[in-house]
Each structure stands twice: as C-alpha cells, then as structure tokens.
Amino acid sequence: MEHQVEDSLLIKRYIDGDERALAALIGRHNQRISSFIYSKVNDREVTEDIFQDTFMKVIRTLKRGAYSEEGKFLPWVMRISHNLIIDYFRKNRRLPMFEGADTFNIFSVIGDEKLNIEKQIIKDQIDSDLTLLIEELPNEQKEVLLMRIYKDMSFKEISENTGVSINTALGRMRYALINLRKLIDQNNIVLTN
C-alpha cells in the first residue's frame, strides 16, 4: 500500500476486514514505536513483547469499535505502549540480588538508584495523567476535588469557601471521582504505583 494513505483510511479499511491495512499501519509506525519502547526498557525481547501487546490492544479496541479517529492514531498507540511500559516496570519489580549470590540481600537494595528512578518515572506519569484527567472535569467538581485532595481542606472548609452546603460539596466530590474513573477507563490509563 502506498505511504500516502492516511492512518484513518487504513484504520477504516482494517475495520472493514482488510488485514493488509493493519500490516501497513504496523509497518509505517513500527520503527518509531519500537525505538520508543526500547529507549525505556533497554531490552530487545521485552521491547518485542510490549510492541506485540500494544498492537493486541490496538486490534481489540479497533474490533470493538471503541476507537474514535481524530487524526491521532500514532499518539494513541504511543500512549498504549507507554502504559504497558509502566505496567512492565510495576509487574517486574523484582528485588535485586546481591552479586554472586542467589538470595536476596537487604544491602543490595539500599540506595539502588535504578529502582528509585523507575518509581519516580511512574509517579511523574501518574501525576501527569491525573492532572490531565482532572482538567476534563466540570468546574464545580474540579474545584472541590482540588480543594480536598491538593489543599487537604475539610468538606466544611470547602463548603465555606464555595458557598455551597456540605452535602453539595460531598456530592460534587462523589461525581468528580465517578467521572475520573470513567475517564481512566476510557483512556486505558493505569494509575497505581
């Protein structure tokens, strides 16, 4: 297939049953996605596994009809692979072994910068994801959530600051959390550390 064919057209063709369209999409973006994954995990086999898992998620989403084309196919796929990389680090958090020994040694963990860097990357990504999701909330819900979570205000204080009853503040917080969960599910985001 010619390179000029837009991603959105290839996606439509694939959804309509043309398997070659998916092969063209994978071929087109293979290098960029693989390089991105490898730059994070530094392991060829893990890179291949995450790449395959990424496209399995892409295929499932496309076949379910859950993908909405907005000209953002590559960023969407990169986001999926990024989330899978974070999942990989979380799942494979093995305790480091002391060199030359087959057993765990507490001294091999103390000051292990690699683990601390991974934790910081995961924490930064969670913070970034959460900030973007909070921005999508209605203003009243966002205001209450920010006061409660980030300013550590009581619902009484929130009530006084916003001029609404405590029950209204509680309700807004409840809806903010419900809406955040929906956004997390819709965007396939993992927010656990």
- Please report whether residue 100 resides in a domain: no
- Pseudo-torsion of CA 161, 163, 166, 172, nearest 10°? -90
Does the structure show a pLDDT above 70 at 100? no
pLDDT reported for residue 39: 86
Structural domain span for residue 86: 1-94
**What's the CA gap between 51 and 42, in Å, rounded?**
13
**What's the CA gap between 39 and 5, in Å, rounded?**
28
Residues 163 and 78 in one domain: no
R_g of the chain computed on alpha carbons: 22
Q: What is the mean pLDDT of residues 151-170?
A: 89
Residues 66 and 145 in one domain: no
Residues 66 and 150 in one domain: no
- If pLDDT is split at 50, 70 and 90, which confidence band does 127 have? confident
Percent above pLDDT 70 for the chain: 81
Residues 36 and 125 in one domain: no
Residues 129 and 67 in one domain: no
Q: Which residue type sits at 39?
A: S
Residues 61 and 127 in one domain: no
Domains held by the chain: number: 2
- Please report whether residue 103 resides in a domain: no
- Please report whether residue 135 resides in a domain: yes
Residues 20 and 69 in one domain: yes
Domain boundary among 94, 123, 141: 94
- Please report whether residue 2 resides in a domain: yes
**pLDDT tens digit sequence for 66-84:** 877 666 888 889 889 988 9
Q: What is the mean pLDDT of residues 149-158?
A: 85
- Please report whether residue 38 resides in a domain: yes
Residues 90 and 122 in one domain: no
Query: What CATH number is given to the structural domain containing 39?
Result: 1.10.1740.10
Tokens 């049953």 identify what position?
Answer: 17
Query: What CATH number is given to the structural domain containing 125?
Result: 1.10.10.10
Q: What is the DSSP string of the chain?
A: --TTS-HHHHHHHHHTT-HHHHHHHHHHHHHHHHHHHHHHH--HHHHHHHHHHHHHHHHHHHHHT----SS-HHHHHHHHHHHHHHHHHHHT-PPPBPTT-SSB-GGGTTT-HHHHHHHHHHHHHHHHHHHHHHHTS-HHHHHHHIIIIIS---HHHHHHHHTS-HHHHHHHHHHHHHHHHHHHHHTT-----
- Please report whether residue 107 resides in a domain: no
Domain boundary among 44, 67, 94: 94
**What's the CA gap between 156 and 188, in Å, rounded?**
34
Q: In Å, how far are 84, 122, 135, 144, 163 from 180, measured between CA atoms? A: 20, 19, 10, 13, 24
Q: What is the mean pLDDT of residues 42-70?
A: 87
Residues 90 and 154 in one domain: no
- Please report whether residue 151 resides in a domain: yes
Please answer whether residues 110 and 65 qualify as being in contact, where contact means their C-beta atoms are separated by less than 8 angstroms.
no
**What's the CA gap between 143 and 146, in Å, rounded?**
5
**What's the CA gap between 50 and 4, in Å, rounded?**
27
Residues 80 and 121 in one domain: no
Residues 80 and 118 in one domain: no
- Please report whether residue 75 resides in a domain: yes
